[in-house]
Structure 1
Amino acid sequence: MQAKTNDTTVARGREAETRAAAHLEKCGLRLVDRNFRVRGGEIDLIMRDGRTLVFVEVRQRSRGDFGGAGASITAAKQRRIVLAARHWLARHGDCACRFDCLLIDDERLEWLRDAFAGDA
């Protein structure tokens, strides 16, 4: 039974990332990479906003019991995202970047630009 729950969670996560990417593309950003993983970290979406590279964490929550989607981006999670971003930049070249979050609470999307600093 556990595998079925995980499959559903993964499918919902992919759906949220696809929805987030579409929203950001409508806002003028361009998708560069998706689900970049290294040991110790992952980045959901990597987008380009003009000359700026944007590392995007997508968080979805269907219930607000524990503070909603935004509350789930802890300092530890931020460190893992920054770690993965450093690896991506080392492979692809250093450039100006920022860390955004796209929060999905129920059906509402909220885009937080510069949600946290790269020294997290």
Structure 2
Amino acid sequence: MNGPRDARARGEAVERLAAAWLAERGLVPVAANQHAKGGEIDLVMRDGETLVFVEVRHRADVRHGHPLETITPTKQRRLIRAARFYLQRNRLSCPCRFDVLAVTGLPPELEFEWVVNAFDAY
């Protein structure tokens, strides 16, 4: 069966693997799946003093395009708005950045492409 529930479970599994992959590279997990006005933040992590908002994009294969191609200007604006809401709600004032982690394949055969500071908040 390939219904929405299966897709959601697969997405959550990929996000957990993505968080572990980033943690192996020095980022410290803070939160996951943070819902905010107009958007959702997949992962919130720390890189030293910097709070990192990570968008995880997964595709089983790249026949219909690479996951990085899905980070449109509209998606960026939603992520920025969600991050601002997260910062306000948690009364945080610290350096921040937006990373994108593109994941291709199916577990356990996943490939990761990490784009640090993928776009700026404007």
User: Does the TM-score normalized on the shorter chain lie above 0.5?
Assistant: yes
Amino acid at match of 1:87: F
Quote the residue 2:95 is aligned against: 96
* Structure (1 or 2) with the greater helix fraction: 1
- Separation in 2, partners of 1:73, 1:16: 18
Instruction: Please tell me whether residue 111 in structure 1 is matched to residue 114 in structure 2.
Output: yes
Unmatched runs of 5 consecutive residues or more in structure 2: none
Q: 1:10 aligns with which of 2, 8, 18?
A: 8
**What's the CA shift string for 1:66-116, capped at 9, x where partnerless?**
321111111111111100100011122121000001110112111110011
Quote the residue 1:40 is aligned against: 38
CA RMSD of aligned residues (A): 1.2
Amino acid at match of 1:56: V
Segment of structure 1 superposing worse, 103-112 or 43-52:
103-112
Instruction: Please tell me whether residue 85 in structure 1 is matched to residue 83 in structure 2.
Output: yes
- Separation in 2, partners of 1:23, 1:63: 19
Question: Matched residues, percent identical?
Answer: 46
Q: Is the 8 A contact 2:44 2:52 kept in 1?
A: yes
SS at match of 2:80: helix
| TM-score under structure 2 length normalisation | 0.91
State the Cα distance separating 1:63 from its structure 2 match.
2.0
Quote the residue 2:22 is aligned against: 24
